[in-house]
Structure 1
Amino acid sequence: MPEIHAYRTLLLSGHWFSQLPSTLQNALLHAASLRRLDAGQRLFSRGDKPCGLYVVVEGTMRIGAVSEVGKEALLMLIEPPYWFGEISLFDGQPRTHDAYADGPCVLLNVPQAALLELLERQPQHWRDFALLLSQKLRLAFIALEEMSLLPAAPRLARRLVMIAEGYGGVSGERRVIHLAQEQLALMLAISRQTTNQILKDLQAQGIVRLTYAEIEILDLERLRQVGKQAAP
């Protein structure tokens, strides 16, 4: 589909896709279909059957879970060109978390059956998908370590840097982060009040600028320094 191939330049700005052999890039795009979601629309829920690999090409997706009493754990807000869904490709088990659109969103979906058929023909590509999985595992270990060892302020600073750098998955850095303070608080498991105070302190230092549902990073290097203040 020409519409899908029009996203190729965007996808090539991501580290994972750009490092794939061109034959695998072409195979993924050939097998992909477009999914459009409205704000708040769910893509899949925890416990759903595997439905393949996704990449965000427009908008923002929200990855997390909600407890039986309605308490939300927000793990990530992901933007283009972020790939996700590979865990169920490896183990064939149900989805581990909920994924839904934070606003209007467009994704490409490579179905599970197409991926398994491709890997049956060319098993050498399992390593390429393992690299995508290992990147997420690395991020998860970092987040667990920070949750255990760091106070709220450096933890918040590190998370903003990580988001600005596309969780290590994109070329370049984003200076304007479309993220409400409530969402950031959920991601870090700290209170809304604590999040607001830390952000106001960073703004007073000229490191960030706060606007409605946005955080503009004015000095990324100083933000990195804040994140290192309580590092072991």
Structure 2
Amino acid sequence: MDWYGKPSIELFQKFPLFSGLPREALAGLVARTKVLRLAPRQFLFHKGDPGDALYIVVQGEIQIGVITKDGRQVSFAQLRPGQIFGEIAVFDDGPRTADASAVSESVVLSLGRKDVLNYLDEYPSHAVRMIGTLCQRVRSADQLIEDLLFMSLPARVAKCLLALCDLQPNAALPVTVRISQQDLADQMSVSRESINRLLSKWEQADVVALSRGHITIKARHALETYSSE
């Protein structure tokens, strides 16, 4: 892993949720923060587990989803550095509503439920930021449901690849994004075979190039067309 640092005030200041806090407040949070390192596909928690902590992604990528009764994995979100998760159970003291696992080698910071609630009691204005994060999560879930109901598979895959492309620091084509066909299938709630057939067709059309664990976007305009069909 690349990140071998320790929690620090400077690190917390980079997170939107904690930016603007006095250094003494950040120092208290830093002192109570744990660092967790996850291997690819290692689970951090499972649906139904006690919600005893909030997490912040520092490195890598965390997948939030569930496993269906027939054994399929359905992905709700892919979280990247700077994003928080696990906050729902922290607020309502209920069990985890989904699984969280590492897509790649990842590092997350963990803040205990009691420490988070004490922090919000002391700085209530920052509760609005966390509520905003919750609202974004609900909006994303609503959009996911709408996409599943009304968009074709090619449109959904194109939309996902465009979103991953936009996250890259340099979006000049070609852009290579790190996602396996299985992970993409999990996000789309379809079989890997369906994704492979679609991507192979796009590769023949010189829209994308495929390699192990990566997809290179070569023709963004084509994906934009597919996403609107």
Same fold (TM over 0.5): yes
- Which residue number in structure 2 is paired with residue 71 of structure 1? 72
Contact 1:73–1:186, Cα closer than 8 Å, also in 2: yes
- Which residue number in structure 2 is paired with residue 100 of structure 1? 101
Q: Deviations over 1:168-227 (max 9, x none)?
A: xx9776932222112211211223222112212322333322111111223434423321
1:88 aligns with 2:86: no
Contact 2:17–2:130, Cα closer than 8 Å, also in 1: no
Tell me, in whole angstroms, the C-alpha distance in 2 between the residues paired with 1:112 and 1:19.
Answer: 16
Contact 1:89–1:112, Cα closer than 8 Å, also in 2: yes
- Which residue number in structure 2 is paired with residue 42 of structure 1? 43
1:8 aligns with 2:11: yes
Tell me, in whole angstroms, the C-alpha distance in 2 between the residues paired with 1:130 and 1:171.
Answer: 28
Q: Give the 3-state SS of the residue equivalent to 2:6 in structure 1.
A: helix
- Which residue number in structure 2 is paired with residue 23 of structure 1? 21
Seq. identity, %: 25
- Which residue number in structure 1 is paired with residue 185 of structure 2? 185
1:113 aligns with 2:137: no
Q: Give the 3-state SS of the residue equivalent to 2:101 in structure 1.
A: strand
Q: Give the 3-state SS of the residue equivalent to 1:209 in structure 2.
A: strand
Tell me, in whole angstroms, the C-alpha distance in 1 between the residues paired with 2:139 and 2:49.
Answer: 25
Tell me, in whole angstroms, the C-alpha distance in 2 between the residues paired with 1:215 and 1:6.
Answer: 36
Tell me, in whole angstroms, the C-alpha distance in 1 between the residues paired with 2:21 and 2:9.
Answer: 17
Tell me, in whole angstroms, the C-alpha distance in 1 between the residues paired with 2:17 and 2:124.
Answer: 17
Tell me, in whole angstroms, the C-alpha distance in 2 between the residues paired with 1:24 and 1:228.
Answer: 46
Task: Give the alignment's Cα RMSD to 1 decimal.
Answer: 2.9
Tell me, in whole angstroms, the C-alpha distance in 2 between the residues paired with 1:24 and 1:187.
Answer: 39
- Which residue number in structure 2 is paired with residue 201 of structure 1? 201
Q: Give the 3-state SS of the residue equivalent to 2:21 in structure 1.
A: helix
Tell me, in whole angstroms, the C-alpha distance in 2 between the residues paired with 1:184 and 1:151.
Answer: 15
Tell me, in whole angstroms, the C-alpha distance in 2 between the residues paired with 1:178 and 1:208.
Answer: 13
Q: Deviations over 1:105-145 (max 9, x none)?
A: 21111221111001112222111001111111111111111
Q: 1:86 to 1:141 in 2, by over 3 A?
A: same
Q: Give the 3-state SS of the residue equivalent to 1:3 in structure 2.
A: coil
Q: Give the 3-state SS of the residue equivalent to 2:107 in structure 1.
A: strand
- Which residue number in structure 2 is paired with residue 127 of structure 1? 128
Instruction: Give me the TM-score of the superposition, normalised by structure 2.
Output: 0.82
The number of aligned residues is: 221
Gaps of at least 5 residues in structure 1 are none
Instruction: Give me the TM-score of the superposition, normalised by structure 1.
Output: 0.81
Contact 1:209–1:215, Cα closer than 8 Å, also in 2: yes
Contact 1:7–1:57, Cα closer than 8 Å, also in 2: no
